[in-house]
Each structure stands twice: as structure tokens, then as C-alpha cells.
Amino acid sequence: MSSTALAKLLKLFSSPEVEGDVMCDEDLETLQFVRKNKLLDLYLERISRSSRDTYILKSMVEREGRRALFRDAVVNTARNLDESGVEYALFKTLKPFRFLPNDIDILIFDMENLEMARAALTEAGYVLGEYEPYVVSFSSPEGVMVELHLEMSIAYFVYLDKALLKPHVTCVNIDGVRVYTLKPSAELLCTIAHLLFKENMITLSDYMEIRVRMGRQLNDGSEEFRRLVDRSSMELGVYLVLKMVLLLDRRFLSDYECCHMECLCEDLRVNCKYANIMDLFLNKLMNKPIFPHKFHPTVLMLLFIDRIIKDDRARSSLASQVFNTLDVTNPYSRRMREILISRIGRESY
């Protein structure tokens, strides 16, 4: 996609007050681009205000139906877990803009609650799915995938300690049902850690979420987010992602300012050993922005090295990851290798 077209899209997405005054293309290429970047629902919402294209309007209705079904699955899952006394928190599921996730991700804080959740969902008619390390998957009666995560991990490698997140659980009301999720500061940290260490790429959906949370939701909570970054030893990764968001804003949205994000970036940069190297790759990206953006292998290597050196949980789980990946007697080892190989050629997640 050209820089001009990208600038139009970012302006269209940038503010909830935009009422179709930014004319964007409605061709197949644009639809494929927003789909890859996981912004199809937001795009359809904005473009449908001025579009008379039958396909656009039909797509909007179809996606709304799927979003309603997903909402029902969230509410019913939360009700089942709450009635069984399960301590949990949704993450990467409730976004601050129109969005249809691939599944419902639920963080479980210990084995006792995992067994309680497994029993509650099984009794409610959820169908048990495939096995993954630290993850129990179900298909809900609505046909939505529900994943219970015992750790924030990719296979056996734990990239973020869940103990840091437990004090930041909050409750929201959806259709009269209590739904436990993470506060914006903890959700933001999860988003950044997930896209770096599990997905190894960033989509424009991630960019929008970070931008919205830093710009609106964390105006009074930026200090809490800063403390979470310190405690998780995620300074380098957070610096990389926030700096990328800032550079995109400066290039395509010159009237947008987020002072506390700029201050946080400068503060983090002082304590980041590899900040200069990250800046080189960011400057190269800004010369020719391509999204979804797959992080360069050098960037990923430095991020993982920094994580393993600084974080005890990541370091201790690395040995388990290596051993289980190479262990031919482990029924999941082949699956892990296939997943790692598949990530090399994929364009989105």
C-alpha cells in the first residue's frame, strides 16, 4: 500500500469523531490490507457512513452478526466462570475500538483455578480442543474458541510473569454480567509483550490499540504503566513499540500529540542498552512503512537476549522450551517445530 493511501487510512482510524470526511479507497486491495492488519471492523464502521457500495454494507451486517455472537460467548463464558468461583482475567479480547478477536483469551492464575474453569466449561457444554503447553482450549456452544492460559507464553517459553498482572485485574459490566479483565495499563503491557515475543510482528490494530490506550486511557495511569514496565523488565521492548507508534504519528498524523508517551520513550531510552540499534531499524521502516510489520531477526534476537538476561521467569523457562522442542518423545514437540517454521513465512496473525 502506498504512503498516501496509508496516511488516509490512519487519519480515518485516528479519531472517533471522523464522520467519513476522509475519502478512502473501497477496492479489494484496501479490504485485504485492513483485514491483514485486523482493522476490518473499524474500517467498515467508518467507511459505511459514506459508502453506498453494496458489498461494503453487506460485509458490515455480516461482521455485526459475528460480533454479536462473540459478545454472547464472552458473556456466557464469564458467567460460567464467575458462578464457579474461578479467578480469571480476560486479556487481548476487549479492545478500545470496534474489533472482532479470533478467540477469547483468559488468564488463569493457578492450577486450582484452571481445574475449576475446565470443569465449569465442560459442564456448560464447551468442547475440549487441542493440547498446547500452558493452554487449555475449548469451543463454546456459540462456536467461538476459548483459550485458558496458565502462563503468558509461547509453547514452554514464558515471556511475561502473570504474577505482575494479578493485582491489576478489574471488573466491567457487559449485558448485566460481571466480566473480569485487566486494567488498561496491564492490558497495554500484555499487548506489547504478545506482539513482540509470540507473534514477532506488529499490525495496525496493535498500533491503534497502543495509541488509544496511551492517548486516552492512560492519561491518569501512565505512572502505573511505567511501574509495570520496570517490574517486568520490559524497557527495551516497550521502547521499541512506543517509538514506532510515535514515528508513525509524526509522519502521517502531524496534528497528533501524546506528550506523556514521548516523555516515557525518552526515559526508557536512557536505560536501554540496544536503543541505538532499534532506532536504526525504526528509521529504515519509516522510509518504507510496510504493515503488518515483521520484526527483523536481529531485533528479535536482541529482544530475546535482553528478556532472558533480565527476567528470571523467562530465563528459567528457556531450558524447558529447548528441551521439549528437541524431545522426540514429547507428543507436542513436532507441533512446536511446525509452529516455529510457519511463523517465518506468514504475513499476519
Domains of the chain, first to last: 83-183 (3.30.460.40), 186-345 (no CATH)
pLDDT of the residue at 16: 54
Q: How many beta carbons lie within 10 A of that of residue 174, not counting itself? A: 14
- Under a CB-based contact definition with an 8 Å cutoff, are residues 100 and 65 in contact? no
Rounded average pLDDT over 323-342: 75
Burial class (CB in 10 A: 0-12, 13-18, 19+), 164: middle
- Asked whether the predicted pLDDT for residue 203 surpasses 70, the reply is yes
pLDDT of the residue at 20: 45
pLDDT of the residue at 288: 87
Determine the Cα–Cα distance for residues 290 and 287; give it in Å rounded to an integer.
Answer: 10
Query: Which has the higher per-residue pLDDT, 43 or 86?
Result: 86
Determine the Cα–Cα distance for residues 199 and 344; give it in Å rounded to an integer.
Answer: 10
Determine the Cα–Cα distance for residues 198 and 186; give it in Å rounded to an integer.
Answer: 17
pLDDT digits (tens, 9 = 90+) for 93-105: 999 999 999 999 9
- Asked whether the predicted pLDDT for residue 249 surpasses 50, the reply is yes
DSSP letters spanning 251-279:
HH-TT---HHHHHHHHHHHHT-TTHHHHH
Mean model confidence pLDDT for the chain: 88
Query: Which has the higher per-residue pLDDT, 312 or 25?
Result: 312
Q: Look at strands 135-139 and 157-160 and give their pairing.
A: unpaired
In the chain, the N- to C-terminal Cα span, in Å, equals: 19
Rounded average pLDDT over 228-257: 89
DSSP H or E segment with residue 15 = none
Determine the Cα–Cα distance for residues 295 and 240; give it in Å rounded to an integer.
Answer: 10
- Asked whether the predicted pLDDT for residue 220 surpasses 60, the reply is no
pLDDT digits (tens, 9 = 90+) for 119-157: 999 999 999 998 788 999 999 999 999 999 999 998 889
Give the percent of the chain with pLDDT over 70: 92
58 three-class SS? helix
Greatest Cα-to-Cα distance within the chain, rounded to the nearest angstrom: 59
* Residue linked to cell 500529540: 257
Sign for the CA dihedral angle at 100, 102, 107, 108 comes to: positive
Q: Which pTM was predicted?
A: 0.91
- Asked whether the predicted pLDDT for residue 17 surpasses 60, the reply is no
Rounded average pLDDT over 79-94: 96
Grid cell digits, residue 49: 457512513
Rounded average pLDDT over 11-17: 70
Q: How many beta carbons lie within 10 A of that of residue 157, not counting itself? A: 25
pLDDT of the residue at 257: 62
Determine the Cα–Cα distance for residues 292 and 37; give it in Å rounded to an integer.
Answer: 6
- Under a CB-based contact definition with an 8 Å cutoff, are residues 187 and 333 in contact? no
Query: Which has the higher per-residue pLDDT, 128 or 250?
Result: 128
pLDDT digits (tens, 9 = 90+) for 30-75: 888 999 999 999 988 888 766 667 777 788 888 899 999 999 999 9
What string of H, E and C letters represents the secondary structure of 109-170?
Answer: CCHHHHHHHHHHHHHCCCEEEEEECCEEEEECCCCCEEEEECCEEECCEEEECHHHCHHHEE
Grid cell digits, residue 138: 475449548
Determine the Cα–Cα distance for residues 135 and 336; give it in Å rounded to an integer.
Answer: 13
Determine the Cα–Cα distance for residues 324 and 71; give it in Å rounded to an integer.
Answer: 37
Rounded average pLDDT over 219-230: 81
> Distance of alpha carbon 157 from its chain centroid, rounded?
18
* Residue linked to cell 504493515: 291
Q: Which of 18-32, 195-209, 225-239, 317-331 has the lowest mean pLDDT?
A: 18-32
pLDDT of the residue at 164: 95
Q: Which of 22-26, 179-183, 267-271 has the lowest mean pLDDT?
A: 22-26
* pLDDT interval class at 333 (50, 70, 90): confident
* pLDDT interval class at 27 (50, 70, 90): low
pLDDT of the residue at 50: 66
Query: Which has the higher per-residue pLDDT, 57 or 87?
Result: 87
Determine the Cα–Cα distance for residues 115 and 136; give it in Å rounded to an integer.
Answer: 10
8 three-class SS? helix
DSSP H or E segment with residue 91 = none
